[in-house]
C-alpha cells in the first residue's frame, strides 16, 4: 500500500473533468490538483513554453510527494509528456483525443474531433489518427475561445451555445456519428452539446478511460492506497474563485484552493 497522493495538473480547471472520474473510481486515493490558471490557455502557446510550464507543474507536485502524475491537459500531453517521462522518474498518465473508439464505433465512416491547436499539431493526435482512423473521414475543428468560457465559468451561457453551434453544426451536416472532445475543458459543455447534437451522435469524453488507466498502473506497480483518510487538495497559480465554485458543484462540499506560484 502506498498512501502518497496522485498529482493532477492542467492549464486551468478543465482537468477537473478527469479529477472527477479518478476520484469516483479510486475513492481511497489522496488527490492533489494543480490548475495553472495564470498561464491558461496552453492551446495557443509554443511547445517550448508548454514544456517549461509542465516541468514547473511537475516539480510542484513532486515536492508534494506524488507517486503518479496525470497530465490532465491534451495540449500539455501533446507537447511535453515525452520530455517529462525522460526527465522525471515517476509514472505519468497523459491525455489524447479518443480517436480510436470513435473510429471503431462509427457506422457512417465520419467522425468529428473538437480540440485545441496544440493538440492537433502534436505527435499523439497524428499517430493515433494514422493508426486507427486511416479509412475514416475525420473532421477536425479548433475550439478557439471555449477554454476561456470554462475558465470564466460561462460554459452554460448563450455565448457558449452560439460558439459550440458554430463549431459543431458543420460536423453534423457532414454526417458524423461520433464527436470526440479533445480537451479536458470541453466536457463541461456536454449539457449544451446535448441540446445541439442529435441523439444519434455519440459524444466521447476520454476521462473515464484515463481513470481506468490510472487504476491499472497503480495495481501493476503496487502503488494503490486503501486509506480511509482521503485528502483532497486544490491549488491554482491564478484566481481561485472559479475552481472553488466548480469543485463545490462536483463534490457538493467546499475544498478552498490555495493560490501558489510554480517555478
Q: Which helix (H) or strand (E) holds 89?
A: none
Catalytic residue among 6, 56, 183, 192: 183
Q: What is residue 169's DSSP assignment?
A: H
Neighbours of 56 (CB within 10 A): 18
Q: Is 66 a catalytic residue?
A: no
Q: Is 183 a catalytic residue?
A: yes
Closest CA to 98 of 206, 213, 210, 19: 206
The distance between the two most distant Cα atoms of the chain, rounded to a whole number of Å, is: 52
- As a three-state string, the secondary structure of 95-135 is CCCCHHHHHHHCCCCEEEEEECHHHHHCHHHHHHHHHHCCC
How far is CA 243 from each of CA 7, 240, 257, rounded to the nearest angstrom?
16, 5, 7
C-alpha cell at 61: 507536485
User: Burial code of 177-196, b = ≥16 C-beta within 10 A, e = fewer?
Assistant: bbbbbbbbbbbbbeebbeeb
Catalytic residue among 73, 114, 201, 243: 73
Residue positions annotated with a catalytic role? 73, 183
Amino acid at each position: 500500500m502506498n498512501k502518497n497522493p496522485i498529482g493532477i495538473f492542467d492549464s486551468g480547471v478543465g482537468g477537473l473533468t478527469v479529477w472527477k472520474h479518478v476520484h469516483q473510481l479510486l475513492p481511497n486515493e489522496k488527490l492533489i490538483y494543480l490548475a495553472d490558471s495564470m498561464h491558461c490557455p496552453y492551446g495557443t502557446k509554443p511547445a517550448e513554453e508548454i514544456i517549461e510550464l509542465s516541468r514547473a507543474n511537475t516539480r510542484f507536485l513532486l515536492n508534494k510527494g506524488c507517486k503518479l502524475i496525470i497530465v490532465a491537459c491534451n495540449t500539455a500531453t501533446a507537447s511535453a509528456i515525452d520530455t517529462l517521462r525522460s526527465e522525471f522518474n515517476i509514472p505519468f498518465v497523459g491525455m489524447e483525443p479518443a480517436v480510436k473508439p470513435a473510429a471503431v464505433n462509427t457506422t457512417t465512416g465520419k467522425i468529428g474531433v473538437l480540440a485545441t491547436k496544440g493538440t492537433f499539431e502534436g505527435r499523439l493526435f497524428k499517430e493515433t489518427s494514422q493508426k486507427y482512423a486511416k479509412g475514416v473521414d475525420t473532421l477536425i475543428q479548433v475550439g478557439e475561445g471555449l477554454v476561456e468560457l470554462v475558465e470564466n465559468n460561462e460554459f452554460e451561457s448563450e455565448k457558449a451555445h452560439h460558439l459550440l453551434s458554430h463549431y459543431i453544426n458543420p460536423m453534423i451536416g457532414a454526417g458524423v456519428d461520433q464527436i470526440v472532445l479533445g480537451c479536458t475543458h470541453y466536457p463541461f459543455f456536454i449539457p449544451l452539446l446535448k441540446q445541439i447534437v442529435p441523439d444519434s451522435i455519440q459524444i466521447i469524453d476520454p476521462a473515464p478511460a484515463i481513470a481506468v488507466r490510472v487504476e491499472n498502473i497503480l495495481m501493476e506497480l503496487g502503488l494503490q492506497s486503501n486509506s480511509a483518510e482521503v485528502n483532497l487538495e486544490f491549488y491554482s497559480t491564478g484566481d481561485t474563485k472559479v475552481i472553488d465554485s466548480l469543485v463545490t458543484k462536483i463534490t457538493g462540499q467546499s475544498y478552498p484552493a490555495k493560490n501558489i506560484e510554480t517555478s
